[in-house]
Amino acid sequence: MKNKWKILIVDDDLSISRSYQKYLESEGYSVFTANDGREGYIAIEKESPDLVLLDINMPVKTGLELLEDLNKTFNKKDIPLIIMLTAYGDLDAAVKATNLGAYDFLSKPVPLEKLRAAVERALETLTLKERIAHFVEPDSTPFKDTIIGRDSLMIDIYKTIGTLKGNKATVLVTGESGTGKEMVARAIHENTVPEEPFIAINCAAVPENLIESELMGYVKGAFTGAATNREGKLEAVKGGTLVLDEISEMPYEFQTKLLRVIQEKDFYPIGATEKKRFHGRIVALTNKNLKELAENGKFREDLFYRLNVITISVPPLRDHIGDLEMLTLHFIKKANLMMNTSIQSITKEALDFLSTHSWPGNIRELENTILRASIKAKDKILTRDSFVFLIPEKKEQNDPKEKQNVCEFFNTPDKLLPLRDVEKNYIEFVLKQTNWHKGKTAELLGITRPTLDKRIEEYDLRKDD
Ligand SMILES: Nc1ncnc2c1ncn2[C@@H]1O[C@H](COP(=O)(O)OP(=O)(O)OP(=O)(O)O)[C@@H](O)[C@H]1O
Ligand SMILES: [Mg+2]
């Protein structure tokens, strides 16, 4: 842990800062230096040190002035720990520094042994502070297997589900693999007719010649081997929800019969002369583009239009990446329950890393990733290192489409923009790209969170603009 701590020494006396640097580096810390208050401020913004050894008397900007600046421009929790280096007789300054939040004082010249002890003591407190500032914990409510997500795209889905109560309208749920289509189908059921049966069949898994008997059922003697009457799913589901997963794989011939069920709300079991009524709701799921399949004659067009009355498009995870934290905490709880792990928290750094992944396998991939990391974790905390098996990507930089968008800000030949406007526009652009994920935005822009916060305030940037 120790060699992860970053220490900044701000002192105009180079021989002093060199000797401290050398010594602390030999103790395993990562140490860098600045010559005065102004350089110190820049270094704090750029490097986010954990601890700053700050001289008071310096040219250009004094230690106290730097401390004042930090208090004005940084969020309190982002200000590093400060140990002031005071010369004899600096009592006045020491009082001021305390008021500005300095953690400790050392009188110059500081014996190296004393320096080490002070640094260790300070960083110990920081371990505690770090736990609060840099970790996120799941809440203590018991795990419940429901849809998670607060992104507006998810809210739209909840709203649509809300309109389904009291009717039996057919619903088509589309979305890439692993986005949560089945989850949505369950939510429809739970929010409309939870007391009725919920039946799901996967059209790709039922052999083509059996799909009709599976859904419609048959009467005794309808074919060789039909020794008794058998109820199909359309009947068994009663007033409940019948999910037809992978609807694109439904045999073409049978699609006409399904169309009839949807239109007429009745059906004939195989071999029967009397119709039966269908009382339930059909929810069809697909990760294919049904419209395209219909246009190419691979799916019946009339059935497509019948299914496509109420459509719910479940977004890929990359389009609601702001939900990643909530989902991750949810899956940590799930792992603790199902896999008997005992993960208590995850670092923000790890969450930031997960947010930069493009998640081609969507929420299922995220779930599996969290389960895998939880099982392998030696500690009760998931850190960036828990996810080494996830290969980092640099999609932002490589995506030519995005590059083109970025260029729009500079490609204004008839009106050249002031640098300030370019900066404002660009920060706004990156915020939008990351769905206002500030950690990720700061990382992409190569600035610290406090600097980003400062710019957001300065340019009056708002999420909804
Ligand atoms: N919004 C969500 N909140 C919580 N868990 C989710 C959410 N969406 C998906 N999951 C979880 O992710 C996994 C995959 O979801 P689901 O099976 O619904 O995806 P799918 O779209 O049907 O995928 P496929 O097309 O591959 O069948 C499940 O374990 C589910 O519990
Ligand atoms: Mg599914």
pLDDT reading at 398 higher than 80: no
* Model-wide pTM > 0.75: no
Is 306 a pocket residue for ligand 1 (Cβ < 6 Å)? no
Query: CB of 147 closer than 6 A to ligand 1?
Result: yes
Architecture of domain 318-387: Orthogonal Bundle (1.10)
Strand order in the sheet with 135-136: 135-136, 345-347, 381-382
What is the number of the ligand closest to the CA of 287?
1
Average pLDDT of span 425-447:
85
**Nearest in space to 318 (alpha carbons), one of 148, 463, 183, 179:** 179
Q: Are the C-beta atoms of 312 and 299 separated by less than 8 Å? A: no
What average pLDDT does range 213-242 have in this prediction? 95
Buried b (16+ CB within 10 A) or exposed e, 72-93: ebbeeebbbbbbbbbeeebeeb
The per-residue pLDDT for 293 is 95
Structural tokens at position 339? 């896999």
pLDDT band at residue 395 using 50, 70 and 90 as cut-offs: very low
Q: What angle do CA 263, 269, 273 make, to 5 degrees?
A: 95
Distant-in-sequence, close-in-space partners of 202: CB < 8 Å, separation ≥ 6: 245, 246
Q: What is the pLDDT of residues 112-168, one digit of tens each?
A: 999 999 998 888 776 655 555 567 888 888 888 999 999 999 999 999 999 999 999
Let me know: does 187 contact 161? Beta carbons within 8 Å: yes
Going from the Cα of 367 to the center of ligand 1, the distance in angstroms, rounded, reads: 9
Residue from 247, 363, 371, 372 to probe ligand 1 pocket by mutation (most atoms less than 8 Å from CB): 363
34: Cβ–Cβ under 8 A, 6 or more apart, which residues? 8, 9, 10, 40, 42, 43
Indicate the pLDDT class of residue 3, thresholds 50, 70 and 90: very low
Q: What separation in Å is there between the alpha carbon of 178 and the centre of ligand 2?
A: 7
| Best residue among 176, 367, 371 to mutate for probing ligand 1, ranked by most atoms within 8 Å of CB | 367
Computed over every residue of the chain, the mean pLDDT equals 88
Whole-angstrom Cα distance, residue 303 to residue 383?
49
For residue 112, with 0-12 CB atoms within 10 Å meaning exposed, 13-18 middle and 19 or more buried, which class applies?
A: middle
Residue 410: per-residue pLDDT: 53
* Residue 203 reports pLDDT greater than 80: yes
CA of 278 to the centre of ligand 2 (A): 24
* 280 touches ligand 1 (CB under 6 Å): no
CA distance 281 to 152: 26
Q: What is the DSSP string of 47-103?
A: H--SEEEEES--SSS-HHHHHHHHHHHS-GGGSPEEEEEE-TT-HHHHHHHHHTT--
Q: Is the CB of 325 under 6 A from ligand 1?
A: no
CA distance 141 to 330: 10
CATH architecture, range 2-136: 3-Layer(aba) Sandwich (3.40)
Ligand 1 pocket mutation pick from 152, 155, 182, 201 by most atoms within 8 angstroms of CB: 182
Q: What is the pLDDT of residue 104?
A: 85
DSSP letter assigned to residue 270: B
CA–CA dist 213, 231 (Å, integer): 9
* 362 CA to centre of ligand 2 in angstroms: 12
* Residue 15: pLDDT over 60: yes
Residues within 5 A (CB) of ion ligand 2: 182
The domain defined by 395-458 carries CATH number 1.10.10.60: yes
pLDDT, one tens digit per residue, over 315-372 is 999 999 999 999 999 999 999 999 888 898 898 889 999 999 999 999 999 999 999 9
> Which residue's alpha carbon is at the smallest distance from atom 10 of ligand 1?
180
d(CA 443, CA 456): 15
Report the residue among 179, 323, 324, 359 best suited for mutation to probe ligand 1: largest number of ligand atoms under 8 A from its CB: 179
pLDDT of residue 175: 97
| Helix ranges restricted to H, 148-264 | 152-162, 181-192, 211-216, 233-236, 252-264
Indicate if the pLDDT at residue 400 is higher than 80. no
> Span 85-104, mean pLDDT?
79
Ligand 1 neighbour 179 (Cβ under 6 A): yes
Atom of ligand 1 nearest to the CA of 314: 21
Confirm whether 2-136 and 318-387 share one CATH topology.
no
The CA distances from residue 304 to 70, 163, 234, 243, 285, in Å, are 61, 21, 19, 16, 12
pLDDT-derived band at 45 (thresholds 50, 70, 90) equals: very high
pLDDT > 90: percent of the chain: 60
Confidence of residue 2 (pLDDT cuts 50, 70, 90): very low
Q: 432 to each of 423, 437, 449, 456, 465, how far by Cα in Å?
A: 14, 9, 16, 13, 10
The CATH topology of domain 167-313 is: Rossmann fold (3.40.50)
Say if ligand 1 is within 6 A of residue 368 CB.
no
Task: Give the pLDDT score at 89.
Answer: 63
Closest residue by CA, ligand 1 atom 16? 180
CB of 181 sitting under 6 A from ligand 1: yes
Residues in the chain: 465
Domains of the chain, by residue range, sit at 2-136, 167-313, 318-387, 395-458
364 lines ligand 1 (CB under 6 A): yes
Residues 142, 188, 287, 434: is their CA dihedral positive or negative? negative
Residue 408 has pLDDT above 60, yes or no: no
